[in-house]
Structure 1
Amino acid sequence: MPTQQAAPAALDSLPSPGRTTRLAQALLGTDSRQRPTLQLLGLAALVTATVVILLVYAASIGVADVLQVAVLTSLFFIFILGFYGVIRSGLNQRFADPTLAMPQTILAQTLIAGAYAVTGPVHGATVIMLSLVMVFGMFSLRPNAVRHASVYTVVLMGVVMYWCSQKQPLHYPLGQELFNFALTAIVMLAISRLSGQLSEMRTRLKTQKIALEQALAHIKEMAARDELTGLPNRRRMMTLLQEHATRHARGGPRFFVCIIDLDHFKNINDTYGHAAGDAVLRAFATQAQVVLRTTDMIGRWGGEEFLLLLPESAPGDPTLGVARLRESLADLPASPALHDLRVQFSAGFARYEEGEPIDQAIERADRALYAAKSAGRNRSVVL
C-alpha cells in the first residue's frame, strides 16, 4: 500500500506543461517583440555560465586569485541581470537597436578578456568564448557592427596578451601569446567576413521573398480579372455574391443580381471584326464603371454578358444605375473607329431572397434577361 500511494505523489510532483508555460512567460514575458531579445540574452548567459565555471575551476586548483575570480564572477552576473532588467522593463525599446546586441557583445568580450588575464595556465580555454560571442552577435548585428566589434576584440586581446606576457611570463609566454593573438585575429576576420556574406544572403532572400509575393499577388489578380476588360471575372463575381449573401444573412443589406447582354453583339463581330467587338466590350466596361455607383460591382460573366451586384441602399433604386448606363451609351460611340455605332443592351434583374442559393438568384436574373430580349431588347426586366 505505501508503494501505491508514493507513485501518485511522485506523478503529482512532476511539472505539468501548464507550469512550464507559466515559467517561460514569467522569464521571457508575453511580448512577442521582446522574446527574441531575451532569447539572445539567454545565449549570452550560457556563455557567461561557462566562463564562470572556468573561473571557479581555476580558483579551486589554485591557479587564479580568489578575489579576482569573485570580482569577475560578480561582474558577469551584474552584466546578465542588468540587461535582463532593462529588457524586461521595456527600456530597451527606447534605443535604435532594441536587441542591445552591440553593448552586450562589447561587455561580454571585455569580461572574457578579464577572465583570460586571471586564469593563468588554463587561460587558453577562454579564447573560444570570444569566438562564440561573436558568432551569436553575427546573427543580430549589422556587418559594420560585427567588424567594429571584431576590431575591438582583436585590439583588446592584443593589449591583454601583451600585458600578461610581461607580468606573468611563466603562465603567458610571449611566443604562446603571439600564437593566441594571431589565432584570435584570424578567427575575428573570418567571422567578420561570414557576417557580410550572411547579410548578403539575407538581403537576397528578402528580395526574392518580395518578388515572390509580388508575383503571387499578380497571379491572384490575373486569376480574378478578365484580361480583356479588366473587370472581375466569373469566378471572382461568384465569390463576391457568396460574400454578400453571407453578409445579408448576418444582417447586412439586401442586393440585386443583374445580368446584362449586349444586343446584337454577334452582328458587330461579323460585320466589323473581332477587334471591333473587343473594343466595344472594353468601352462598355469602362463606361459602366464610370456611371454605376461606387457600391455596385460589375464583372464579365462570359462572352458579351456582364453580371452586376447591386446592393440596396436608401433612398435609391439599384435599377436606376443601369438605366443611367443605357442613357449614357446612347450618346457614346461603340469604339473610336465606329463613331456611328451605339451599344445597346438588355438586362435582367433578380432581388436576392434571404436563404436562397446564389445560383437560384442568378437563374431568376437570367430568366428576366431572356424576357427582356423576347420583349424587343434594349430594356430591363425585374423578376
Structure 2
Amino acid sequence: MRTPSRWHRIRDVVLSTDRRRRTLVAMALLALVLMTSSAGVMLMVATASSAVNAVAVQWWAAISVGGMVVMTAFIRSGETARLSDPSLTVPQMVWTITSGAVAYVLAGDARGVVPAVLAMILFFGTFGLTVAEVIGIGVYALLAFGCAVAATTRFNASPFGYLDTAYALMVLIVLGGSIALNLRIQRIRARLQEQREALAQALAVNRDLATRDELTGLPNRRAMQDLMELERRRSLRSGRPLLLAQLDIDHFKRVNDSHGHAMGDRALQAFAGAVRASVRDTDVLARWGGEEFVLLLSDTRINDARDLLERVRAAVAAMEIPHTSGTLSLTVSAGLAQHVPHDTLELTLERADLALYTAKSLGRNRVAVAPSPRRGSRSHSAQT
C-alpha cells in the first residue's frame, strides 16, 4: 500500500478523511478566505483614509473573520453532521451580510465597494439553499442594509448627499438582482432534479424490461442465464445440488388457434401464477420462450425436486381459465436434470430438454427425470 505524501497528510488533517465532511470544510474555508480578503480590503481603506475610524475597522475585521473561523472549526469537528444544515450555509450568510452592513457604515467614502462584496456573498451561498431560505436571506439583507444606509449619515456626521443616494440605490439593485438570480437558479435546480428523477425512473424501467418478460413478469431468458451461472458457481463452491427443469405447456398451439392470441396470453399469465404459487421462494421460474419455461432449483435433492414438479403439474391441471365459451384447462410436461459439477449449463439444459421430450412422448402431463450422465460419456436417455 502506497504511503500517503506529506501533502495528502496535511490535507487529511485540515479537511478530514470523511468525504462528505471534507467537501463541507472546503466550502467553509473558501467562505473564510473571502471574508478574510474583504477584511483586508477594509483594513487597506482604513489605512489610506483618515476619514475612516481605523480602530473600529480593526475590531470589525477581527470579529468578522473570527466568527467565520469559529463556524469553520465547528464544521471540521463533525458536530454539524446531525444538523439539518450541516454546512451552516444560512448562519454563514447571515453573519457575512451583517458584517457587510456594518462595513458599509464604517467604510465612509469607500463604501461603494461593499455592494460588490454583497453580491459575491449572496451568489456564493445560493447553491445550498431552498427557495424559502433564499427569500428569507434576501429580505434580511434588505433590512440589514436599509438600517446601514439610514445609519451612515448619523455615523459619519455628514448630510445625506448624492453619493449616499447612489450607494443606497446600488445596494438595492445588487440585492434585487441577486435575489432574482438566486430564485432563477433554484428553479433550474428544481427542474434538473425532476429531470434526474425522471431519468432514473426511465433507467429503472429499462433495466426491468431488459431482465423481465413483459407478459408474465417472470425473468426472461437473458436474466435467467445470468442467475443460472451465479448459482452454478455457488453450487461448485458449496457442493450443494443444483437442478434445472424444462416446463412446456401441452398443446399450447391449439389454445392460440382455437381461442386467439389474447386468450393465449391470459393462459401464459395464469400458468406463470400457478407455478409460482406452487414453488418455494428460493426457486426461480423464467420464461424461456413461447410456452417454454425453465425452473431453477437450488440446494434441492432430486426426489424432493420431482415431488415439487408433481405439485406444479397438479396445480396447472387444476386450473380453470374462464373465456367466452366456458373455461380453459391446461396441462404441463416437465423434464428435470441435476447439474453435474464442472459440466456446462448448456449440457444440463440439454439433458432436461431430453427428459421433457420423454415426458411428452409418454403421453404428456407428466414429469420425467434425466439420469445422471456416466463418467466420460453423455447419456441421451431419460427415466420417468
TM-score interval (norm. to shorter) = 0.7 to 0.9
**1:107 partnered with 2:119:** no
Q: What residue number does 1:212 align with?
A: 199
- The answer to whether the Cα contact below 8 Å between 1:233 and 1:301 also exists between their aligned partners in 2 is yes
Unaligned ranges ≥5, structure 1: 1-15
Q: What residue number does 1:228 align with?
A: 215
- The answer to whether the Cα contact below 8 Å between 2:229 and 2:345 also exists between their aligned partners in 1 is yes
Secondary structure at the counterpart of residue 128 of structure 2: coil
Q: What residue number does 1:4 align with?
A: none
Quickly say closer, same or farther: Cα 1:314–1:83, change in 2 above 3 A.
Answer: farther
Q: What residue number does 2:57 align with?
A: 69
What is the root-mean-square deviation in Å for CA atoms of aligned residues?
Answer: 2.5
Secondary structure at the counterpart of residue 250 of structure 1: helix
TM-score, normalised via structure 2 length: 0.87
Partners of 1:149 and 1:329 in 2: how far apart?
Answer: 67
- The answer to whether the Cα contact below 8 Å between 1:29 and 1:35 also exists between their aligned partners in 2 is yes
Q: What residue number does 1:249 align with?
A: 236
Partners of 2:294 and 2:103 in 1: how far apart?
Answer: 78
Partners of 1:45 and 1:239 in 2: how far apart?
Answer: 53
**1:25 partnered with 2:19:** no
Partners of 1:338 and 1:295 in 2: how far apart?
Answer: 38
Secondary structure at the counterpart of residue 378 of structure 1: coil
Secondary structure at the counterpart of residue 317 of structure 1: helix
Task: Give 1:97's aligned amino acid.
Answer: D
Q: What residue number does 2:117 align with?
A: 129
**1:78 partnered with 2:66:** yes
Q: Provide, for residues 275-320 of structure 1, a one-character-per-residue CA deviation record: whole Å limited to 9, x for no partner.
A: 3333332221121111111111111111221111111247971222
**1:312 partnered with 2:314:** no
Quickly say closer, same or farther: Cα 1:153–1:282, change in 2 above 3 A.
Answer: closer
Q: How far does residue 149 in structure 1 lie from its aligned partner after superposition?
A: 2.2
Secondary structure at the counterpart of residue 215 of structure 1: helix
Secondary structure at the counterpart of residue 99 of structure 1: coil
Task: Find 1:194's aligned residue among 181, 201, 207.
Answer: 181
Task: Find 1:45's aligned residue among 14, 29, 32.
Answer: 32
Q: How far does residue 323 in structure 1 lie from its aligned partner after superposition?
A: 0.3
Q: How far does residue 17 in structure 1 lie from its aligned partner after superposition?
A: 7.7
**1:165 partnered with 2:159:** no
**1:97 partnered with 2:93:** no
- The answer to whether the Cα contact below 8 Å between 2:32 and 2:69 also exists between their aligned partners in 1 is no
Partners of 2:130 and 2:254 in 1: how far apart?
Answer: 67
- The answer to whether the Cα contact below 8 Å between 2:115 and 2:174 also exists between their aligned partners in 1 is no
Alignment of 1:283-302 (within 5 A): 283-302=270-289
Task: Give 2:101's aligned amino acid.
Answer: A
Task: Find 2:129's aligned residue among 116, 120, 141.
Answer: 141
Identity of aligned residues (%): 33
Unaligned ranges ≥5, structure 2: 371-384
Secondary structure at the counterpart of residue 139 of structure 1: helix
TM-score, normalised via structure 1 length: 0.87
In the comparison of the two structures, how many residue pairs are matched? 367
Q: How far does residue 351 in structure 1 lie from its aligned partner after superposition?
A: 1.0
Partners of 2:237 and 2:164 in 1: how far apart?
Answer: 78
Q: How far does residue 337 in structure 1 lie from its aligned partner after superposition?
A: 4.7
